Amino acid sequence: MRNYFWRAQLALAVFALGVGGCSRMRGAQDEKAARAAFSAYDAAFRAKDIDGMKAHMTDPQSSEAEAMVRARPELIDLALKMRPPNPQIVSCTIAGDSATLQMKGENGGAVMTGEVSLARVDGKWRVAKEGWHVNLDAMPDLKPAGGESIPQPLPEAIQKLVDRVASEDAAEGGKAWLEIGARYQDAASFLKDFKPALSDPRPVRFAMVEETFSGGGSTFRYFTVQGDPSKGSPVPANTVGEALRYHLWQYENVGGSGFKGGFQDWWKTYAPKNGLPA
């Protein structure tokens, strides 16, 4: 009887070890597959390959993203500005048919953390949502040493762009403003070139409107020059400096998972932290 008991206990222990080993193996395989799915999606995203992105996204998100980008191709450039150019996976958690990737990366010196949700559909991992956050405290110190410095003249090429923003022709001013926004991928490089112009008091003739772009489970809010007066409420940028400050908004996570307030509220926090004009 005693020998039977110990044989039974030994059999249970061996069975438990076997099941645990299989579970760990499946978990490792799932994690490897989830990581590979994100890597393929990320490569397609950075290559602006819409079909490639769709192949690794859940159906609702892929259809929404495709519709938006087909209608407004420039939106994918905006989305790319709002995430690190080389995102890295920190950890992966699997729970049934759901996977969560904790991410990290840098964008122009700003430290970013992110989370990617994946779902297993027909045995294949697909990206359902991607969200990124900027750690403002980890951004480079943009305050001049020893207090306020004497404003330096802008480089000639930058000055010409700023002068165009101040054009009495609203269309020309708006066009120059958009060109500036498309040129920079991060706050640090933008501020390096344009910081002195953020106090430019000259008036502008164009207005801007806040729009949203949704795709990949994320929603981005951004400002653009008002095109169709029937869409959205125009936001006046009273001066050249104020108009240029709006560009900094696009480098932050102001989507569904980020800052919920308006530009003015965000600026009250952002400006003092980074030594910028109030």
The pLDDT of residue 275 is 79
- Verify that 129 and 7 share a domain, yes or no: yes
- Verify that 184 and 173 share a domain, yes or no: yes
Is residue 96 in a domain? yes
**Rounded distance between C-alpha atoms, residue 117 and residue 217, angstroms:** 9
- Verify that 178 and 92 share a domain, yes or no: no
Given a cut of 50, whether residue 11 has pLDDT beyond it is no
- Verify that 148 and 130 share a domain, yes or no: no
Q: What is the CATH number of the domain that holds 95?
A: 3.10.450.630
Domain that holds residue 16: 2-137
Q: Write a three-state SS string for 27-42.
A: HHHHHHHHHHHHHHHH
- Verify that 252 and 193 share a domain, yes or no: yes
Given a cut of 50, whether residue 154 has pLDDT beyond it is yes
Residue 188: which pLDDT band, with cuts at 50, 70 and 90?
Answer: confident
Mean pLDDT for all residues in the chain? 76
Residue 123: which pLDDT band, with cuts at 50, 70 and 90?
Answer: very high
Q: Write a three-state SS string for the chain.
A: CHHHHHHHHHHHHHHHHHHHHHHHHHHHHHHHHHHHHHHHHHHHHHCCCHHHHHCCECHHHHHHHHHHHHHCCCHHHHHHHCCCCCCEEEEEEEECCEEEEEEEEEECCEEEEEEEEEEEECCEEEEEEEEEEEEHHHCCCCCCCCCCCCCCCCCHHHHHHHHHHCCCCHHHHHHHHHHHHHHCCCHHHHHHHHHHHHHCCCECCCEEEEEEEEECCEEEEEEEECCCCCCCCEEECCEHHHHHHHHHHCCCCCCCCCCCCCHHHHHHHHHHHCCCCC
Q: Kindly report the backbone phi and psi dihedral angles of residue 89, in degrees, each rounded to the nearest multiple of 5, phi listed first.
A: -85, 125
pLDDT tens-digit map of 220-256: 777 888 755 555 567 667 889 999 998 888 777 676 6
Percent with pLDDT over 70 in the chain:
74
- Residue where a domain terminates, one of 86, 111, 137: 137
Is residue 97 in a domain? yes
Please, what is the Cα angle at 45 between 43 and 106, to 5 degrees?
80
pLDDT tens-digit map of 88-106: 999 999 999 999 999 988 8
In the chain, how many domains are there? 2
Is residue 237 in a domain? yes
